[in-house]
Amino acid sequence: MSFGALIGIFLGVALVNNMVLAGFMGICPFLGVSRKVDMAVGMGCAVTFVMTVSGVVTWLLVHAVLTPIGAAFGNPEALYFLKYVIFIMVIASMVQLVEMYLRKFFPSLYTAFGVFLPLITTNCAILGACLLIDMKPEYQNLLNATVFAFGGGIGFMMAITIMAGIREHIRFSDVPRCLQGPGITLLMAGMLALAFMGFTGIGK
């Protein structure tokens, strides 16, 4: 596997098929935690960490535990029905880990996140990354899967930070009352998605 191919995977998931703006995953934190740039960056870092680690751990569990045990009973895919339950358990424990770490070392960030920190568990981008790694044959290789998960996290961080930057400015604009809050945010997200469509074709 060449280095160029890894860069292709990274750019593909971070820019071309950005998980938030083209894949519609992680919309809840994208709309909920994008009011301030510093919080958006913190959220992006937490998600990137959880996504990378869970991507690797779930890959290992599928390829090094489920498949061999299934194969021992004659059918490598015999235990695949357990996948979803295992994925969500891994993600929940990773989030617990990040929560404990933040509470100990960055208490101010911990209080700023509030309820959104445990909600990373239900961030579809993370489970989505694990599922995509599991579905696509090109991520049979652990290195590719790791780069994919890391790129997905960076893409999420980029989208949410850009959004937070725009929202800090729009606070001083005269938005029609019915569009205030989620309405205008979704419209801006639509335009951001249009802009990101310009990346189509990179890395191929």
Partner 1 sequence: MAEENGSNFRQFRDGVIGNNPVLVQLLGMCPTLAVTNTLENALVMGAAVTFVLVMSNLVTSLLRHQIKPHVRILVFTLTIATFVTIADLVLKANMYEVSKKLGPFVPLIIVNCIIICRAEVVAIKNGLARSLADAFGMGLGFTTALSILGAIREILGSGSLTLPGGATSLKLVQLPAAFEPHAWIIMVLPPGAFLTLGVVIGIVNQLRYRKVKGGAA
| Binding residues vs partner 1 (CB under 8 A) | 21-28, 31, 81, 84-85, 88, 92, 121-124, 127-128, 131-132, 135, 176-179, 182-187, 189-191, 193-194, 197
Residue 64: CB minimum distance to partner 1, A: 21
What's the token pair of residue 83? Answer: 């996948």
Residue 31: CB minimum distance to partner 1, A: 7
Residue 174 contacts residue 88 (beta carbons within 8 Å): no
What is the SS3 string spanning the chain?
CCHHHHHHHHHHHHHHCCCCCCCCCCHHHHHHCCCCHHHHHHHHHHHHHHHHHHHHHHHHHHHHHHHHHHHHCCCCCCCHHHHHHHHHHHHHHHHHHHHHHHHHHCHHHHHHHHHHCHHHHHCHHHHHHHHHHHHCHHHCCHHHHHHHHHHHHHHHHHHHHHHHHHHHHHCCCCCCHHHCCHHHHHHHHHHHHHHHHCCCCCCC
Q: Which is nearer to partner 1, 120 or 157 (CB)?
A: 120
Q: How far apart are CA 139 and CA 157, in angstroms?
A: 22
Q: Which is nearer to partner 1, 65 or 197 (CB)?
A: 197
Residue 80: CB minimum distance to partner 1, A: 10
Q: Which is nearer to partner 1, 174 or 178 (CB)?
A: 178
Q: Across the chain, which distance is largest between two alpha carbons, in Å?
A: 66
Residue 108: CB minimum distance to partner 1, A: 25
Q: Which is nearer to partner 1, 7 or 195 (CB)?
A: 195
Residue 172: CB minimum distance to partner 1, A: 20
Residue 179: CB minimum distance to partner 1, A: 5
Q: Which is nearer to partner 1, 1 or 133 (CB)?
A: 133
Q: Which is nearer to partner 1, 1 or 197 (CB)?
A: 197
